[in-house]
Structure 1
Amino acid sequence: MPQQTAPDAPARKPVSTGGVFLSFAPWIIFGVVASPSTWEYAALAALIASIALSGQDLLHGKLRILDVTGIVFFGVLSVLGLALDRGQLLWVETYAQVISNGLVAVVALGSLFVDPFTAQYARESTPREVWNSPVFTHINTVLTAVWGMAFALMTVSTWLAIRFPSQDDWFNWVVPIVLLVWTVKFSQRYPESYKARMT
C-alpha cells in the first residue's frame, strides 16, 4: 500500500505497495486455478496462501478485513469440497470465480462505510498523526473504491464467460488481467499524484 504523508510533510519516503497486493494474492491464485474440475484444489491453495501470508499478523491481533475474509471463504469452500458430493456442488463449480470476485467487491465497497480497507495497510507505513488527515482519508477512499469497482467488473466479466462460452478467454482472462494491471498501476501512481496537486 502506498505510503501516505501529510501534504506539508518535509520529506517523502519511498512508496511501498507490497502489503495490499499480497492480500489479493490468494484471490488471484483462486481465480487462475479454479475451473469446474479444479476449484477444490484452487480453494485449498488459496487457503494455504491466505494463512501463510497473514497468519502471523492475525496471531498478533492485526485483523485486516480482506485477509480474514479470504481465510473464512477459502476455508468454507475447502470444507464443502470435502463434505459434499459433486452433484451438490454443481453451483460452486459453475460460479466459483463469480462468487469470489463478487465477495471481494462487496468487502471492498462495503468497507467504505466503515474504514476503507486500503487504510489498514497504509497505517502500517504511515505516521499515526496523519491517519485522520483529509489527504489520507481521501486517498484511501479513492483506492478502495477503485479496487472494489475493478472486482465488481471482474464479477460481471466472469459471469459473462459462463453465459457466452465461446468468449471464455476474453471474459475469464483478458478482461480480468487488464483490470488488475490497470488497478495496480493506478494504486501506485495516485497517492503521490494527489499529494502533488495538494501542495
Structure 2
Amino acid sequence: MQKLSVFLGFVPWIVFSVVAGPSSWMWAALAALVCTLVLAVPDWRRYRAISVLDAAALVFFAVLVVLALVLDRATLQPIEDRAQLLSSVVITVVAFGSLAVGRPFTEFYAKHEVPQEVWSTPAFKQINRVLTAVWGGVFLLNAVCDLIAVSGANTDLFNWVIPVVAIVVAVKITAWYPEHVKNRIAESTGAHEASRPPAQPA
C-alpha cells in the first residue's frame, strides 16, 4: 500500500485542524468540505465508491457549514471552542468503528494497490487491521491532546508537537508494515519449501 494514498484521506481533517480557530472554524469547515469533494469525486467516478473517511468528512463538515449559516454566534460558541476536539473525536470513532465492524478503513486504499485475488487473504486482512488500529490510536492521541489544549495547557506541545510526531510515526509504520508482513510470509514459505524432502525419482 502506498502511504500517500492513505495520507490523502486525512487531508480534509488536517486542513480543518490547521485552519480552525475561535473565529475561523466555519471557514475551516468549508475548506475541509471542498478538499473532501476534490478527493471523493474522482474516487466515485473511478470506483463508484468513496472511503469511509471521505463519507464521514462530507457529513461532518457539511453539518458544520450548515450550522454556521443558520445558528447565531452565541449558540455556536460551544462548537467554536471545541471544533478541533470534535473533529478528532469523529475521525477516531470512524477509524475504530470501521475496525469493529470488520471493515478497516485502510482497505479502501489498499484495494487500489493490490490485485483483487489477495483481498480475502489473511495477510491482507491482518495488515489493514493493524494499520487501521495504528491510525485510530493516532486520532485518539490527537483527541486527548485537543482536550488537554482546551483546558489551557501548553498549546504548542499538544496542538503541534505531539500530533505531528504521532502522524510521522504512523506514516512510517504504514510504509514499513506491509513489506514486513510480505517478507515474513516469503521467509516462512521458503523455509517450508526447504524443509520438504526431495521428490523421489520415478
TM-score w.r.t. the length of structure 2 is 0.88
Structure 1 distance, partners of 2:37, 2:8, is 12
Which has the larger Rg? 2
Structure-2 residue corresponding to 1:123: 111
Q: Return the offset for 1:147.
A: 0.4
Map 1:2-41 → 2, pairs under 5 A: 2=1, 16-41=2-27
Q: Would you identify which runs of 4 or more consecutive aligned residues in structure 1 move more than 6 Å? A: none
CA distance in 1, matches of 2:41, 2:59: 12
Matches within 5 A, 1:1-199: 2=1, 16-59=2-45, 61-112=48-99, 113-163=101-151, 165-199=152-186
* 3-state DSSP of counterpart to 1:136: helix
* Cα distance between partner residues in 1 of 2:108 and 2:69: 33
CA drift at 1:58:
2.6
Post-superposition CA distance 1:164-186 (Å, at most 9, x none): x2411111111111111111111
Residue by residue over 1:101-159, the C-alpha shift from the partner in whole angstroms, topping out at 9 and shown as x without a partner, is 11111101111123111011111121111101010000000000000111001000011
Counterpart CA distance in 1 for 2:32 and 2:13 is 7
In 1: Cα distance, 2:89 partner to 2:25 partner? 16
Q: How far apart are residue 195 of structure 1 and its match?
A: 1.6
Q: Gaps spanning 5+ residues in structure 1: where? A: 3-15
CA RMSD of aligned residues (A): 1.1
Q: How many residues align?
A: 184
Higher relative contact order structure (alpha carbons within 8 Å, sequence separation ≥ 6): 1
Range with bigger deviation, 52-61 or 64-73: 52-61
Identity %: 46
State the TM-score, normalizing by the size of structure 1.
0.89
The unaligned stretches of length 5 or more in structure 2 are 187-202
